[in-house]
Amino acid sequence: MQLSENKTDVRNKASEATREALLASGTELFAELGFDGATVDHIARQARANKAMINYHFGGKQGLYEAILTATFAPSRERFDSLRESTQPADARLAGFVEIFVEMATRRPAFPAMILREALSGGRHISGRTLPYFISIFALVREIVEQGMREGIFRPVDPFCTHLGLIGSLVFFFSTAGFRDRLVAEGKLPLKPPDPQAYVRHILELMKRGLAAEGGL
Amino acid sequence: MQLSENKTDVRNKASEATREALLASGTELFAELGFDGATVDHIARQARANKAMINYHFGGKQGLYEAILTATFAPSRERFDSLRESTQPADARLAGFVEIFVEMATRRPAFPAMILREALSGGRHISGRTLPYFISIFALVREIVEQGMREGIFRPVDPFCTHLGLIGSLVFFFSTAGFRDRLVAEGKLPLKPPDPQAYVRHILELMKRGLAAEGGL
DNA sequence: GTCTATAGGCTGATAGAC
DNA sequence: GTCTATCAGCCTATAGAC
């Protein structure tokens, strides 16, 4: 009995390992090459797994893609939910949102590029059930801005514009980091690009000053 | 003689027409589906042209792609060059840059998505000669910010961060406009998204307040 | 669970008639 | 310049051995 369990454990672990390897290489290659650009052959080779394993574990290329999207969002879902119910002032909540986003982008560097590609192609590869979830997370910024205006911390601004401006500058920075690194490595970009922390500090300072209520300075 | 010339004219015009049609449908489909996602068959069909014409006019799919990138930038190239040599104060030049960018994005709505996709995939589909040109245009923002700091109009900020934040929020907004429109049309987004003019005004105001020198208010 | 071999479809490109 | 017909190559997915 114990032996049998151990044997199953080992098998599960091995199975789990190839599953994770496929998720990892898939994330990287989908982000860099897009859904059509990344081939299952390439993904499997990079994961040192067999091509057929993508079918076995995820039911196909499309299944792997969706599994990656949900697997990446899932760990931060709780943090977003608790932020949504937080009673902090608006500026602290806004900083909290950025913090969670940066943490996600740091843990899975390829993720910003994937959601951006999804937005570019009109959510073509996301299932109908997954889409509202993404929208609700990003709408959180909008809610926070509205709260800040009610509290008198922020000047009157369009919440949707503010939302898009913040998300845009964050997603753009993290999704194109690889490109900048490549340009620097090839000597095509003479300047050293900013590191993520410095960039985030810059954006938060810009938002703080740019959104501040007139009397609040 | 005259007859012969007319005949040539007609032929040239017809040829020019299919060329333009291929450029137009290519721009749209590359932006929406990416380089690998858009097939030459699909592009030719949408242009009501023959598949083989892509080879004849542009020497292949790759040739069409590069022709689109240069053809879109070319009309604005002079305006960027004159802005580079302008002696206006930094804040006016920054607004001028945004104006040219918005004009480009309005005339060719699919263009922001194309350059963004290019950045995501590390400039894989741009030839080595075209790349520096893109970089120099976007570096213009950095130069303007540095000028503003020298003039004392802007507070001390990292020019590269400012550059990335502005470009990011603009490119993101225009490249994902189609996605937002689709969500609204399908009733998945309850709010009406901002129109481009309102968004640009918002961003310029945010930058103006966010970058203002301490004593300058 | 993992592998190999292969099916079946689609892709970009071109040769050759008009 | 434009078209049709066709090619070779690559893609995803799967059947079947282990």
Q: Please give the pLDDT value at position B134.
A: 86
Residues of A whose CB is below 8 A from B173:
164-165, 168
Q: Which two tokens stand for residue A12?
A: 């599960």
Does residue A6 carry a pLDDT above 70? Answer: no
Residue B4 has a pLDDT of: 43
Contact between B169 and A168 under an 8 Å Cβ cutoff? The reply is yes
The answer to whether the beta carbon of residue A86 comes closer than 7 angstroms to any atom of strand C is no
pLDDT number for residue B2: 43
- Write down the pLDDT at residue B18: 97
Cross-chain residue pair B172–A176, CB shorter than 8 Å: no
* 8 A C-beta contact, residue B77 and residue B136: no
Q: Does the pLDDT value for residue B6 go beyond 70?
A: no
pLDDT, residue A1, reads: 41
Angle between helices A159-175 and B159-175 (to 10 degrees): 110
A38 closest-nt by C1' vs CA: D11
The nucleotide lying nearest B43 (C-alpha to C1') is: C12
Share of chain B above pLDDT 70, in %: 94
pLDDT in tens, A130-158: 888 888 888 999 999 999 999 999 999 99
Do A138 and B193 touch, CB atoms closer than 8 A? no
pLDDT at residue number B9: 53
For residue A152, how many C-alpha atoms fall within 13 Å in the half-sphere facing its CB? 3
pLDDT tens digit sequence for B97-122: 999 999 999 999 999 999 999 999 99
Average of per-residue pLDDT across B124-145: 90
Return the pLDDT at B56: 98
Predicted confidence band of residue B1 (pLDDT cuts 50, 70, 90): very low
Nearest nucleotide to B19 by CA–C1' distance?
A: D1
Q: Is B56 (CB) below 7 Å from strand D?
A: yes
A66-122 residue pLDDT tens = 999 999 888 898 999 999 999 999 999 999 999 999 999 999 999 999 999 999 999
pLDDT-based confidence at B208, cuts 50/70/90?
very high
- Summarize pLDDT for B27-82 with one digit per residue, the tens: 999 999 999 999 999 999 999 999 999 999 999 999 999 999 999 888 999 999 99
Asked if pLDDT for residue A10 goes beyond 60, the answer is no
* Predicted local confidence at residue A7, as pLDDT: 47
Measured between CA atoms, the residue of chain A closest to residue B156 is A202
Give chain B's mean pLDDT. Answer: 92
* Residue A162 tokens, joined: 């503010």
pLDDT of residue A9: 53
pLDDT at position B130: 84
Indicate the residue of A36, A203, A206 with minimum beta-carbon distance to B36.
A36
Q: What is the mean pLDDT of residues A30-58?
A: 98
Mutate to test the interface with A, among B98, B171, B176 (most CBs of A within 10 A): B176
Q: How far apart are CA B141 and CA A38, in angstroms?
A: 34
Distance, CA of A119 to chain centre: 12
pTM, entire model: 0.94
- Min mean pLDDT across A64-73, B5-14, B140-149, B202-211 is at B5-14
Between the CA of B21 and the C1' of D1, what is the distance in angstroms? 15
- Min Cα distance B156 → chain A (Å) is 11
Residue (of A147, A162, A141) closest to B198 by Cα position:
A162
Question: Residue ranges of the alpha helices (H) in chain B?
Answer: 2-37, 40-46, 51-58, 61-84, 90-107, 111-120, 131-150, 159-175, 177-185, 196-211
**pLDDT for position B167:** 97
CB contact at 8 A, B101 and B170: yes
Q: Provide, rounded to the nearest whole percent, the portion of chain A with pLDDT above 90.
A: 79
Q: Which residue has the tokens 């998204």?
A: B193
Q: Give the mean model confidence (pLDDT) for residues B197-205.
A: 98
| Minimal-distance CA residue of chain A relative to B198 | A161
Tell me if B53 sits within 8 A of B111, measured CB to CB.
Answer: no
